[in-house]
A and B are shown apart, each in its own frame.
Chain A
């Protein structure tokens, strides 16, 4: 009999598990993605490019990029703050804060959008005051950005908390005992130790911010050329039976997500040397 490690399963079991995984991934992930590109290019490159260059589409692409550009820096800063507070300090209500950070993951994005409508909408708490001062939040960029920030808030914090907890506070204490100020300690010790985790969280946050549909759908008002983001634009085109247009914009959205994930994978390859713990 040939010898094999005790934890190695038989070739048959391995093969079956792998086959099931491959079939599942193919059916649920790869096939739909392929369909998007197939449908987009069904009538050739010209109609697809035309759909993307349509003024409404360009406006949707712009709005999506602007929303991501507002959301990602905001959540990066607040995610670092939240992770820093949770991982490096002890304070009453800490577990409550951790639960709160997870809230956007557990609340349906539609509900998140509705909350903002209830607060800032015309019939909402601040509705009248906002109309009096001619400030538009709902059915405008501020509302879309707020809803997106809400939905993508946990990504950076969730990525950093375990990393910072694992690193502990020894290095920070060492820096302080050597005479470094709090700010200097953060920039010289804390920040370099979390840079890869932060980048990773930012990329995930970015991918989600560009793709968010539910919350944005509630607060946007679907005004063509004004408050439509890419996911909303895809829906409108699809409902109008413009399949080539819908799938072309969807393919572009997929492309952005794939670029983000490729960057993420690249980071994972680059990262091990520096992430190795110092002891």
Chain B
């Protein structure tokens, strides 16, 4: 199912949550809506589900206008951050709910519903737990039940609101992989909301980044990471050192750091330098001194925190192989391999 969102706007009182958002989602895609809290990402997800109704704009499913169709008639699967399992029903009855509320000929037979429940329990790896109640399950298990319940109705689109937000780090990681596996197995168009950029980049085919009710950039994880459209995206996605400075005649200058900035208009500007884009260099043009303060190993790299001669804090990531040959307190020469520079 393709989903087309066209200039959707929605406000709560005087607070605008969505400010004319347009977005196209391809059939079978796994898309992340990424943004800080208050960016409108959850409102957008709820508008797609029919749990909120936009004040203007349209939402199309496969070209069909669904803007005013109620949630009950949209056939979406929605997974809530706090699971929202029916607490007085067993796991099996939770999963069967979407099928049991169907009317007349639409409603599958008892045996068919039971078979579907078994199949879904197997898909989310909870075989044999159908008789339990939600309060008897762990957080990760509850979220799997919520996922199975949403998938039971063969939704045209699966919507997940911060699905891993309430889980601890280990469970979150494994459930992420699980979601990717289930998405690949079912092929259902999936949209999930998250404020965790790592989660979005790892899991999604494409990422839509929102801020202040406006989409800042839509692209593949590597596009938004390596070619950020603006300063917000650059600062929000991935780690970056942030330098305030000034551009004059195609050169960005901030203290004793000077960078080429082709195409950036003269005036105040911000430069973002990813830690791995700072490299060790021989003293000379473009290189500057960094006094090392702290070295932390992080997997294949060593994370180095230091200060420039004029006291600004910078973070760098150097490959671990071969050793570094310096210690906290030493001075090293570094150069900026690449920077993202935006006019302020």
Interface, chain A (partner B; CB < 8 A): 170-171, 173-181, 184, 188-189, 192-193, 274, 276-279
Beyond A178-B101, A278-B83, A279-B134, 17 extra complex contacts between A and B, CB < 8 Å:
A170-B82, A171-B85, A173-B80, A177-B72, A177-B78, A178-B72, A178-B150, A179-B72, A179-B73, A179-B101, A180-B72, A188-B97, A188-B101, A193-B88, A274-B88, A276-B135, A278-B134
CB pair B153–A175 under 8 Å, yes or no, is: no
B26 neighbours in A (Cβ, 8 Å): none
A277 neighbours in B (Cβ, 8 Å): 87, 135
- Is B8 in the interface zone, CB < 8 Å from A? no
B78 to A, closest residue via Cβ: A177
Q: Which residues of B from 116 to 137 have beta carbons under 8 Å from A?
A: 134-135
Q: Distance in Å from the Cβ of B90 to the closest Cβ of chain A?
A: 12
Interface, chain B (partner A; CB < 8 A): 49-51, 70-78, 80, 82-88, 97-98, 101-102, 134-135, 139, 142, 146, 149-150, 152-153, 166
CA distance A173 to B153 in the complex (A): 15
B159 to A, closest residue via Cβ: A177
A177 to B, closest residue via Cβ: B78
CA distance A279 to B72 in the complex (A): 24
CB pair B82–A184 under 8 Å, yes or no, is: no
CA distance A279 to B97 in the complex (A): 19
CB pair B101–A181 under 8 Å, yes or no, is: yes
CB pair B84–A174 under 8 Å, yes or no, is: yes
Interface centre among B73, B77, B84 (most CB of A within 10 A): B84
CB pair A279–B142 under 8 Å, yes or no, is: yes
CA distance A261 to B150 in the complex (A): 43
CA distance A170 to B73 in the complex (A): 18
Asked if A279 meets B101 with Cβ closer than 8 Å, knowing A177-B72, A178-B153, the reply is: no
Q: Distance in Å from the Cβ of A258 to the closest Cβ of chain B?
A: 31
Q: List 6 A-B contacts (CB under 8 A).
A: A175-B86, A175-B97, A175-B101, A178-B150, A181-B101, A193-B88
CA distance A187 to B49 in the complex (A): 22
B152 neighbours in A (Cβ, 8 Å): 178
CB pair A174–B88 under 8 Å, yes or no, is: no
B82 neighbours in A (Cβ, 8 Å): 170, 279
Q: Distance in Å from the Cβ of B268 to the closest Cβ of chain A?
A: 43
CB pair A278–B85 under 8 Å, yes or no, is: yes
A189 neighbours in B (Cβ, 8 Å): 86
Q: Distance in Å from the Cβ of B279 to the closest Cβ of chain A?
A: 48
A176 neighbours in B (Cβ, 8 Å): 51, 70-72
CB pair A184–B84 under 8 Å, yes or no, is: no
CB pair B101–A173 under 8 Å, yes or no, is: no
CB pair B86–A279 under 8 Å, yes or no, is: no
CB pair A192–B88 under 8 Å, yes or no, is: yes
CA distance A277 to B97 in the complex (A): 19
Choose one: A177, A188, A276; the contact of B51 (CB below 8 Å): A177
Choose one: B86, B88, B146, B153; the contact of A179 (CB below 8 Å): B153
Interface centre among A173, A179, A181, A188 (most CB of B within 10 A): A179
CB pair B78–A173 under 8 Å, yes or no, is: yes
- The list of the 4 closest CB pairs from A to B, nearest first, reads A278-B87, A170-B84, A178-B98, A177-B78
B77 to A, closest residue via Cβ: A177
CB pair A177–B101 under 8 Å, yes or no, is: no
CB pair A173–B88 under 8 Å, yes or no, is: no
CA distance A267 to B17 in the complex (A): 44
CA distance A173 to B159 in the complex (A): 13
Q: Distance in Å from the Cβ of A172 to the closest Cβ of chain B?
A: 9
B72 neighbours in A (Cβ, 8 Å): 176-181
CA distance A154 to B88 in the complex (A): 27
CB pair A184–B101 under 8 Å, yes or no, is: yes
Asked if A177 meets B134 with Cβ closer than 8 Å, knowing A171-B84, A192-B88, A279-B82, the reply is: no
A184 to B, closest residue via Cβ: B101
CA distance A174 to B71 in the complex (A): 10
Choose one: B84, B87, B139; the contact of A173 (CB below 8 Å): B84
B102 to A, closest residue via Cβ: A179
Choose one: A171, A177, A181, A276; the contact of B86 (CB below 8 Å): A171
A274 neighbours in B (Cβ, 8 Å): 88
